């Protein structure tokens, strides 16, 4: 049977969900709704498909190379035996090149496995929410035979309000199959009056950014409309490399690729492209969808109390209405708030009117203009070996809490501008310090002078936790000279 491959596009910075979403850890990697991240929810979305649909094949993900360890960790935690393939974009070039890379890889893998037909891709963004899996599966079942027949199928969300923040799909008036329509055209984000007219007509659906089609169908369409994108992606993949589950297109070649969305590059041109011979269909979907594009969308999908408040974390409210109070590290108390958003992280607090949350991106832009790291990183920072939390800093010193996963190791490194003290508070540390290699147990410590080559490893079966005190005239993360690294990070 022709395989059905979940293709998950993991790009995007999620700036409208600052301060929780940062460039180093954007919203798709966060658990904003439920106990799993949005990426993990997307990976699970095709699990348990009803007959006669095939079981979903191992997923194929396209991600920014800076997020490769976040992706690998979350996939391995969720689907340890799936054998997912991750295509690492050297830099962001929007969704059309991303999907082209995925389609090229899907065809290559199918040919290597001896398949004679192109696999079908179910293309999904990594940062959306779908509350009703059964209805989503029913929509996938309607799309499956159309995709097998070489058609391009998109999924349109049944609108419940005149939304100005989404693109729209103008569907045909007659359904060949219940809930399946021809696509007349795509409409950009409308103004309020146009959005009301489209809602009242009943002929428009929100554009979800989800598609089902054969990999070769997409490649043929890109070859017709944007041959430059196809040729650049083909060359980048040809000159790229593969290690384990990571596929790395050539960065120099890919840098020349045009940045274009799936809609602009192909979808908006398909309805008029009779010469291509590819029908464009839309399946109407009513399954509790949200793109979580801003904090008001998060408020909408979270459980609410009798006064319309959504509360997350250590939160108390007195007399609040229609508000979101979101805490990650300490008590947040709200009194008499109405229609407000309050989001707390260890290093930043956002307070906004619910109607103004789209302007969070302006805060992020201002932080970047001032070269503030708060736009890019959290105080607690994930690493492939575990994580660290910068718990205090001042003039010429910084204190970090470092947790190393069992069997993991930091790079062999040295610093030009700082010395370090390590104190083990949990577990056992294997330490390289200059010419010496030794073990440290709980309540033991070592001093690493400036310029000494050093390494920290966890030989045990439980997480290793240490407190690191840095001292020196410069304490930036770029003062790391890596001499050897288990994770392929460059010196």
pLDDT at 272: 75
Measured distance CA(347)–CA(329) in Å, rounded: 10
Angle between helix 95-112 and helix 227-238 axes, rounded to 10 deg: 50
CB 64 within 8 A of CB 92: yes
Phi, psi (rounded to 5 degrees) for 170: -90, 115
Q: Mean pLDDT throughout 273-291?
A: 84
Per residue, the 3-state secondary structure of 118-176, as one string, reads CCEEEEEECCCEECCHHHHHHHHHHHHHHHHCCCEEEEEECCCCCCCCCCEEEECCCCC
CA 120 to chain CA centroid, Å, is: 22
3-state helix, strand, coil in the chain (%, to 5): 30, 35, 40
Would you state the pLDDT for residue 491? 59
pLDDT one-digit tens code per residue, 183-222: 999 998 999 999 999 999 999 999 999 999 999 999 999 9
- Interatomic CA distance for residues 491 and 77, integer angstroms: 28
Kindly report, residue by residue over 436-479, the tens digit of the pLDDT.
999 999 999 999 999 999 999 999 999 999 999 999 999 988 89
Domain annotation for the chain: domains and CATH numbers = 4-290 (3.90.550.10), 295-368 (no CATH), 380-484 (2.60.120.10)
490 — pLDDT class (breaks 50, 70, 90): low
Closest of 408, 411, 450 to residue 429, by C-alpha: 408
Return the pLDDT at 208. Answer: 95
How far is 402 from 48, CA to CA, in rounded Å? 39
**Average confidence (pLDDT) over 135-163:** 95
Please name every residue paired with 280 in a beta bridge, in sequence order, or none if there are none: 152
CA atoms within 13 A on the CB side of 295: 34
- Residues 119, 212: Cα–Cα separation, whole Å: 11
Q: Return the higher-pLDDT residue of 486 and 267.
A: 267
pLDDT for the residue numbered 412: 96
Tens of pLDDT, residues 379-435 = 998 899 999 999 999 999 999 999 999 999 999 999 999 999 999 999 999 999 999
CA–CA separation, 222 and 236 (whole Å)? 16
Element (H, E) at 202: none
Q: What angle do CA 59, 63, 67 make, to 5 degrees?
A: 120
**Band of residue 275 on the pLDDT scale cut at 50, 70, 90:** low
**486 Cβ partners below 8 Å, 6+ apart?**
384, 385, 408, 409, 411
pLDDT greater than 90 at residue 245: no
Identify the bridge partners of residue 423 per DSSP, sorted by sequence position: 445, 467
User: pLDDT per residue over 318-351, tens digit each?
Assistant: 999 999 999 999 999 999 999 999 999 999 999 9
| pLDDT given at position 125 | 96
Tokens 């979350």: give the residue: 74
* Tokens representing residue 199 in the block: 């809602």
* Residue 458: per-residue pLDDT: 98
Residue 259 contacts residue 94 (beta carbons within 8 Å): yes
pLDDT of 51 reads: 86
pLDDT higher than threshold 70 for residue 130: yes
Provide the pLDDT for residue 161. 92
Residues 286-324 pLDDT 10s: 999 999 999 999 999 999 999 999 999 999 999 999 999
User: Residue 28 in 3-state DSSP?
Assistant: helix
For residue 448, what pLDDT is reported? 96
Determine the Cα–Cα distance for residues 208 and 289; give it in Å rounded to an integer: 8
Q: What is the pLDDT of residue 248?
A: 96
SS (H, E, C) 245-300: CEEECCHHHHCCCCCCCHHHHCHHHHHHCHHHCCCEEEEEECCCEECCCCHHHHHH
Q: What percent of the chain has pLDDT over 70?
A: 98
Contact 196, 160 (CB under 8 A): no
Q: List beta partners, residue 429.
A: 440
Mean pLDDT of 145-150: 94
- Averaged pLDDT, 166-184: 88
Q: Where are the alpha helices (DSSP H) in 316-412?
A: 360-369
| Edge-to-edge strand list for the sheet holding 436-440 | 436-440, 429-433, 454-457, 412-414, 481-484
> Among candidates 401, 452, 410, which has minimal Cα distance to 430?
410
The Cα 466–Cα 451 span in angstroms is 21
CB contact at 8 A, 224 and 95: no
pLDDT above 90 (res 14): no
Q: How far, in Å, CA of 186 to CA of 55, rounded?
A: 32
CA dist 118 and 340 (Å) reads 50
Structure tokens belonging to residue 491: 């010196």
| Enclosing H/E stretch for 52 | none
- For the record, the structure tokens of 383 come out as 């690493």
Average pLDDT over residues 361-381: 94
What is residue 368's predicted lDDT score, i.e. its pLDDT? 95
**Mean pLDDT, residues 49-72 taken together:** 92
């Amino acid at each position: 049977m022709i395989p059905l491959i979940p293709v998950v596009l993991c790009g995007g910075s999620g700036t409208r969900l600052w301060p929780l979403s940062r460039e180093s850890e954007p919203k798709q990697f966060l658990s904003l709704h439920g106990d799993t991240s949005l990426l993990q929810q997307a990976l699970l979305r095709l699990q348990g498909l009803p007959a006669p649909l095939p079981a979903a094949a191992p997923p194929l993900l396209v991600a920014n190379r800076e997020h490769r360890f976040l992706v690998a960790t979350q996939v391995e935690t969720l689907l340890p035996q799936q054998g997912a393939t991750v295509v690492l974009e050297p830099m962001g070039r929007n969704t059309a090149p991303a999907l082209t890379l995925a389609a090229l890889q899907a065809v290559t893998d199918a040919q290597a496995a001896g398949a004679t037909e192109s696999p079908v891709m179910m293309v999904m963004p990594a940062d959306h929410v779908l509350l009703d899996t059964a209805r989503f599966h029913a929509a996938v079942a309607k799309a499956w035979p159309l995709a097998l027949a070489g058609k391009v199928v998109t999924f349109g969300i049944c609108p419940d309000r005149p939304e100005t923040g989404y693109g729209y799909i103008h569907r045909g008036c007659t359904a060949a199959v219940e809930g399946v329509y021809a696509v007349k055209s795509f409409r950009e984000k409308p103004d309020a009056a146009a959005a009301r007219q489209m809602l009242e007509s009943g002929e428009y659906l929100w554009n979800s950014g989800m598609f089902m089609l054969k990999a070769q169908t997409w490649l043929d369409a890109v070859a017709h409309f944007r041959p430059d994108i196809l040729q650049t992606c083909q060359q980048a993949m040809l000159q790229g490399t593969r290690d384990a589950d990571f596929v790395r297109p050539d960065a120099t070649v890919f840098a020349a690729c045009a940045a274009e969305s799936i809609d602009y590059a192909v979808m908006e041109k398909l309805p008029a492209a009779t010469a291509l011979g590819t029908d464009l269909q839309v399946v109407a979907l009513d399954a509790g969808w949200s793109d979580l594009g801003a904090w008001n969308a998060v408020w909408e999908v979270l459980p609410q109390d009798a006064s319309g408040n959504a509360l997350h974390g250590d939160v108390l409210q007195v007399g609040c209405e229609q508000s979101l109070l979101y805490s990650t590290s300490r008590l947040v108390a709200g009194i008499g708030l109405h229609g407000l958003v309050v989001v707390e992280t260890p290093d930043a607090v956002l307070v906004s009117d619910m109607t103004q949350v789209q302007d969070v991106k302006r805060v992020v832009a201002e932080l970047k203009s001032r070269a503030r790291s708060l736009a890019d990183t959290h105080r607690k920072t994930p690493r492939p070996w575990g994580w660290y939390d910068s718990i205090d800093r001042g003039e010429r010193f910084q204190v970090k809490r470092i947790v190393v996963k069992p069997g993991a190791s930091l790079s062999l490194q040295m610093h030009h501008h700082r010395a370090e003290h390590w104190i083990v508070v949990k577990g056992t540390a294997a330490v390289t310090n200059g010419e010496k290699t030794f073990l440290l147990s709980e309540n033991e410590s070592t001093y690493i002078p400036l310029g000494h080559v050093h390494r920290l490893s966890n030989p045990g079966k439980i997480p290793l936790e240490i407190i690191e005190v840095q001292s020196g005239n410069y304490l930036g993360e770029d003062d790391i000279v890596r001499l050897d690294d288990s994770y392929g990070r460059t010196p």
